[in-house]
Chain A
Amino acid sequence: MKFSQVYRIEIDNITVSEATKNKVYTYLKSEEDIRKKKVQTKFLRTAFTCTCLVILFITGVYNINTISAFARTVFSEFIFDMGGEQVEMGEMHPVKFNMDTFLVSTDVNVLKNDEKDSSYWKNYRCLEDLANETGITMISSELLKNSSDEDNYNIHIFPTYHNGHLNADFVYGRYHVNMDGRFALEGFSQDLLGYGTSEDEKYDSVYESSNGIRAYFAKSERSNKIVFKAGNILYQVNSNAPIKELEKLIDSFKY
């Protein structure tokens, strides 16, 4: 008998298993799902951009209280983009800010980006001083202690872009908490999509506190990030505290 015949018969008995084939089919299906999702997200983004452009065009043409009207329209349906998912944050309006009082106050620092674009920042020792001088009430909690005796509360105003930024560092028991707040000023005209988070940052859980805060938790290796809206300020809190402790902290917030 010829070797080639026997060898052929033996090798013909080897067949690839259905399980191995199925792995390829599963991979194909998952790739297709990802492709579909990408197309869907792209479509939604394009649709949103088009809507914004149409609104801008209409308000521009008819000159009806243009920019602030547009900002209010956007804020009444404020949507936050987190990891490709659109998160409804409720209404959001420009904050009342005493720009005149702020600019003439002492210790205001000027940051010149170019000839036409300057921003202003100042540090405050306590929340009361910040509120009295600027009119802005930052969220507070009895559980948080300033991380140093220095001026802990920083406010940074960007008049060109009609928005502002708050920042403070705290000690929370044996943990550290960094708080970041963003707000719009009267005349704000940009949409706030992707504000404060990166595109690949998805939230893992949602916590609704007794004081009406809906907080989105995004876990990472080193810390937990929480995104929430309180009043008309969008906050981003980074802390090494465990989620349970952070939920207690959210419950204690006053605004």
Chain B
Amino acid sequence: MEEYRAYSNSEIEYLINKYGNTVYRLALMKTKQKEKADDIFQDVFVRLIGLRNRLDGEEHMRAWMIKTTLNCCKDLWKSAWNKHVVYEQQDVEACDEEPEVNNDIRIIVMGLPDKYRIIVHLYYYEEFGIKEISKILKMNQNTVCTRLARARRILKKEFENGGFHYEV
């Protein structure tokens, strides 16, 4: 059996500075709640501690961060607590720590159904290709394409309604 070594505290600190925002942003886009994104952030880096000789290369590390963040989000929703508690849908604006920032686009994207929102985030923000997204989400490439197209249609409609002129 392969034995995993642990990262030192300074190495974890370096990785938090490098990938922390990626993890946090994705968690926030997925959960739409700051407190949950905080929990997921901590969970991801605690899981990382013992995997020192398992993750090699920057791309591998980045992909692990994305996958683990999504898995942690799933675990959070699967947990016994969440099964028995119905959360009130939190206002997206309440998640915002910088009220001065114009976040209309973020609100529109946050309003997309979960299955489209993550694909939009990975495609437009993390700049993953269709093939990579299909691998991360363990999904057929055609499904990713279809969902991305549907998400674009919804976004276009929302932008028109809101008087925005963005090319999707």
Contacts and interface: CB of A to CB of B under 8 A. Distances in A.
A24 B16 contact: yes
A41 to B, nearest CB: 19
Interface in B17-39: 20-21, 23-25, 28-29, 38
Interface stretch (A5-13, A147-155, A238-246): A5-13
Which range holds the interface residue count of chain B? 20 to 34
Interface stretch (A25-33, A66-74, A136-144, A228-236): A25-33
Contacts of A13: 98, 101, 103
Interface in A1-58: 1-4, 6-8, 10-11, 13-17, 20-21, 23-25, 27-29, 31-32
Contacts, number: 75
A10 B103 contact: yes
Contacts of B124: 3-4, 7-8
A25 B168 CA distance: 40
A3 B9 contact: no
A18 B23 CA distance: 14
A24 B24 contact: no
B166 A27 contact: no
B24 A11 contact: no
A25 B166 contact: no
B165 interface: yes
B116 interface: no
Interface of A: 1-4, 6-8, 10-11, 13-17, 20-21, 23-25, 27-29, 31-32
12 contacts: A1-B166, A3-B105, A13-B101, A16-B23, A17-B97, A20-B24, A21-B20, A23-B38, A24-B12, A24-B16, A24-B46, A27-B46
